[in-house]
Structure 1
Amino acid sequence: MINKKKWIANLSVLFGGALVAVSAMAAQYSLNINIALTQDDPMYKGLERMKQRVESRTNGKVELRLFTGSQLGKDEDVLEQARAGANVAVLVDTGRLGVFTPSLAVLGAPYIVPDISKLDTLVTSDLFNGWASDLRQKAGLEILSFNWWQGSRHLLTNKPITQPADLKGIRMRTPGAPVWLETIKAMGATPTPLGWTEVYTGLQQHVIDGAEAQMPAVYGSRLYEVISHITKTGHIQLISGLVGSSQWFDTLPAEYQAIVKEEALLAGDYATELTQAKLTDYENLMVKEGVTISEVDITPFVNATESVYQTLNLQTEREQVMQVLGQ
């Protein structure tokens, strides 16, 4: 016959030990990561991988919490939170970081990195590390890795586009960073800053006439329901990075700092590979939904956007990038 008191006592010891173990595993450091995209996007898959690996390698002492759809706010707002020392990070492009370190904006400039296979070479170079150091000193922002390629940006419209002149009068959504605004203006459209989560309704309600984005984001946000044409200009390679607070990062032991950066870099490679592998699938799915996807001669668009480098005084940075890439 079971001795109930003894059984309860043993159970209490068992649960007590489990609670101690859970307490020992409790996170000492936590980082909230914000992205504008959906859980189906390759970038989120990369973040999931990073979360699992970081938490495993630190025995749960560093916890990563992931937020989609800009739940923590617009990218610019999250960057300001990070600058203030909050435990937040955001997957963001260099266009927004150019506000603090102007040289970084060149990675978001038109037709700057034609061969994406050389991305790791660029974002681990002494040139890039110097810009990252400058960002840290001037803005208190820490780049964890910057090798998250989201895809080539293309034009999303409700009419065919074959040349820059066809964009005249089109209010085109783009992020509010200067390098994006100048690029779209140079291409012939009227740049209209708008949050990514507002693009669908903006197109649906004719607040904007078009947008420009990479294929995974277009499909993930179901923009194929409110556009009829995608013109493959590839005018910007959306190179993104995981950027957080240098103040928060400095609270981590050196061992954990190394783990976070190593896994951020590996996760960026993983997300980039997923993006490359799925691009054709995204295109085929949107064609089935009735979207016309067109290849065009990009030469007129390349020529039209040459002025962006002069306008934003990025000629030197462009030459430096070309040297690193061996172009």
Structure 2
Amino acid sequence: MSIFSKGLGCVLAAGVMAGIATSQAAAQQYQLNVSTALTQEDPIYKGLEQFRDNVAKRTDGEVQIRIFPSSQLGKDEDVLEQARAGAPVAVVVDPGRLAVFVKDFGVLGGPYLADSYAGYRKIVTSPLFAKWAKELHDTSGHEILSFNWWQGQRNVLTEKPVSKPADLNGVRMRTPGAPVWMETIKAMGATPTPMGWGEVYPALQQNAIDAAEAQDTAVYGAKLYEVAKYYTKTGHIGLITGLVTSAQWFDSLPPKDQKILKEEALAAGDFASKATEDAVSKVDAEMEKAGLKIDTIDTTPFKKATEGVYAKLGYTDLKKQVDDILAK
């Protein structure tokens, strides 16, 4: 073989290897770290696993997703700030926290807004919601991948039986710090006490708070049934959440990957939501077996007590628009 032939062969081989290396690099080009306050046992986490796997498959590995449960990346607010700064992170977050940036999102966390996941899904896939999402993108630098991650109806976890708002007078109840949550808990008769989800177990254990409010699967995942006696089905807030990332990071993706991320986020949200609904009876049975008293009550007094929350927060007109969507 001539020196020329050998040299050409080396050049070709080097070119092939460089091409492979470039292809491999492209396959790892985009990485998204997803945070959730929930545990790996929660149906929401299972939905995130589906999201991760399907995105990797459909993008041929170009978009890699890593999941961090139990707030390993920090509190939801901290992750939102990271995303706002352009970091490749996402977080499963409630609408109350987004209301800090676009007030209209707060209405989704209002008391007794819709009766079921189907109702909330109708709202978060509407043109009205799309308008809020665009405003969020343009003003705060956040991108919503989907907002159909249903975590269930929130109920109260206490040391004493509860059947009416008066039973919560003077009770220090943990709740997220968003205004709509705080006003709802206050209207229900309790004293709202904001703190991170990971702090609730020791706070109840050490009597730093008297009560908490959360959905069945979260109570079970955090083992709060070990440090409280009663779980009363007030259903005061339907917890619909969304997968929110950095607009800057999202906009840097190829259009085909953007489309895949949104499609798979919606599909995974539906998967997780159904799993959440299916899990309620199972986790309730497990918690009762562990000694938690679960009571189903007439929620009419709580509905009446919280009727004024929407007006107090300036959501009267927006609530009517949402009601119109639900009525269709």
TM-score tier, shorter chain, comes to over 0.9
The equivalent residue for 1:81 is: 82
**C-alpha distance in 2 between matches for 1:154 and 1:145:** 25
- Amino acid of the structure 1 residue aligned with 2:117: I
Contact conserved, 1:25 with 1:61, CA < 8 A, in 2?
A: yes
Contact conserved, 1:25 with 1:59, CA < 8 A, in 2?
A: no
Relative to the length of structure 1, the TM-score reads 0.93
Contact conserved, 2:229 with 2:292, CA < 8 A, in 1?
A: yes
User: Which runs of no fewer than 5 residues in structure 2 stay unpaired?
Assistant: 1-16
Q: Per-residue CA shift, 1:279-318, capped at 9, x if unaligned?
A: 1001111110111100111011001111111110011111
Contact conserved, 1:200 with 1:223, CA < 8 A, in 2?
A: yes
What is the count of residue pairs matched by the alignment? 311
| Aligned partner of residue 122 in structure 1, secondary structure | helix
The equivalent residue for 1:256 is: 257
Deviation at 1:114, TM superposition (A): 1.2
The equivalent residue for 2:103 is: 102
**C-alpha distance in 2 between matches for 1:41 and 1:32:** 18
Relative to the length of structure 2, the TM-score reads 0.92
**C-alpha distance in 2 between matches for 1:206 and 1:118:** 37
**C-alpha distance in 1 between matches for 2:119 and 2:213:** 24
Q: Per-residue CA shift, 1:154-186, capped at 9, x if unaligned?
A: 000011001000001110000010110000001
Contact conserved, 2:91 with 2:243, CA < 8 A, in 1?
A: yes
Q: Is residue 28 of structure 2 the alignment partner of residue 27 of structure 1?
A: yes
| Aligned partner of residue 176 in structure 1, secondary structure | coil
The equivalent residue for 1:162 is: 163
Q: Which runs of 4+ in 1 moved over 4 A?
A: 19-22
Q: Per-residue CA shift, 1:245-268, capped at 9, x if unaligned?
A: 100000000000000000000000
- Amino acid of the structure 2 residue aligned with 1:138: T
Contact conserved, 2:153 with 2:236, CA < 8 A, in 1?
A: yes
Matches within 5 A, 1:287-302: 287-302=288-303
When structure 1 is superposed on structure 2, of 119-128 and 233-242 the one drifting more is 119-128
Contact conserved, 2:116 with 2:238, CA < 8 A, in 1?
A: no
Contact conserved, 2:186 with 2:192, CA < 8 A, in 1?
A: yes
Q: Is residue 310 of structure 2 the alignment partner of residue 323 of structure 1?
A: no
**C-alpha distance in 1 between matches for 2:315 and 2:22:** 54
The equivalent residue for 1:181 is: 182
The equivalent residue for 2:218 is: 217
**C-alpha distance in 1 between matches for 2:212 and 2:119:** 28
The equivalent residue for 1:126 is: 127
Matches within 5 A, 1:129-144: 129-144=130-145
**C-alpha distance in 1 between matches for 2:326 and 2:231:** 29
Q: Percent identity?
A: 57
Q: Please provide the CA RMSD for this pair.
A: 1.5
Deviation at 1:20, TM superposition (A): 5.0
Deviation at 1:121, TM superposition (A): 2.1
- Amino acid of the structure 2 residue aligned with 1:261: K
When structure 1 is superposed on structure 2, of 309-318 and 211-220 the one drifting more is 309-318
**C-alpha distance in 2 between matches for 1:295 and 1:250:** 46
The equivalent residue for 2:148 is: 147
The equivalent residue for 1:309 is: 310
The equivalent residue for 1:53 is: 54
Q: Per-residue CA shift, 1:100-122, capped at 9, x if unaligned?
A: 11111000000001132233322
The equivalent residue for 2:284 is: 283
**C-alpha distance in 1 between matches for 2:89 and 2:253:** 14
The equivalent residue for 1:8 is: none
Contact conserved, 1:74 with 1:195, CA < 8 A, in 2?
A: yes
- Amino acid of the structure 2 residue aligned with 1:264: A
Deviation at 1:55, TM superposition (A): 0.5
